[in-house]
Amino acid sequence: MARGVDSFTIAEVAATAGVHETSIYRRWGRKHALIRDACLHHADVSRPMPDTGSLRSDLIALLDGLVATLSSPEGRTVLVLSLSQHPHVVAARRRYWQRRFELVRALFAKAVARGDFPRHADPIEAIETLIAPVYLRALVTGEPLHGWPTKAMVDRILAAYSAAPRGTGSTGNRRVNPRRRFGSAGRGA
């Protein structure tokens, strides 16, 4: 895949894996399904959820990992797939984000137990606020991700949540449904 999504062939993958092409076709059917699954696997493996004992350092590690991943050739392929509206890709993207958001909820639950994050704040809103500017640069403006101000971004988010009225997080008086997410519009990988 070093030459790009459109340039690689199933024959090359089969040769590299030491299997017959039919084995790959039988499992994935076509190269785009193979690419999708390979990218999802890479995203899961390359971005483990940190557990440093501090929400701030967890979020810094998480954001640094995201920037590194999206700056890599594999990450750029994931970004290309993020834009696809093919039903299989949309479904895979939803599954991926559902898994990631469950891990994020667990990370924030630990932070709540330590007193690092308000109990009634929505952790998904917090993580979306943190990662959205990275995806904006990667997908929209094309500005470089190198040198991203990770610590400053994390500190801004945490300051906003610590300044929120106690017991309301960033949502004011609105009640947050902890089971909300993942809706109909799959977000990018």
* Contact criterion met (CB below 8 Å) for 49 and 62: yes
* Contact criterion met (CB below 8 Å) for 108 and 55: yes
Establish if 103 belongs to a structural domain: yes
pLDDT per residue as tens digits for the range 74-132? 788 778 777 888 887 788 888 888 888 999 999 999 999 999 999 999 999 999 999 99
Establish if 89 belongs to a structural domain: yes
Domain count, the chain: 1
Establish if 169 belongs to a structural domain: no
* Contact criterion met (CB below 8 Å) for 75 and 1: no
Establish if 136 belongs to a structural domain: yes
- CATH number for the domain spanning 99: value is 1.10.357.10
Q: Quick check: helix, strand or coil at residue 171?
A: coil
Establish if 183 belongs to a structural domain: no
Mean pLDDT over 131-158 rounds to 94
pLDDT exceeds 60 at position 8: yes
Establish if 86 belongs to a structural domain: yes
**Looking at per-residue confidence, does 163 or 9 come out higher?**
9
* C-alpha distance from residue 140 to each of 33, 75, 83, 85, 132 (Å): 25, 15, 11, 17, 11
Residue-level pLDDT at 123: 96
Establish if 8 belongs to a structural domain: no
Rounded to two decimals, what is the model's pTM?
0.71
Q: How far apart are CA 62 and CA 151, in angstroms?
A: 11
Range(s) of the domain holding residue 54: 48-163
Mean pLDDT over 36-40 rounds to 70
Establish if 173 belongs to a structural domain: no
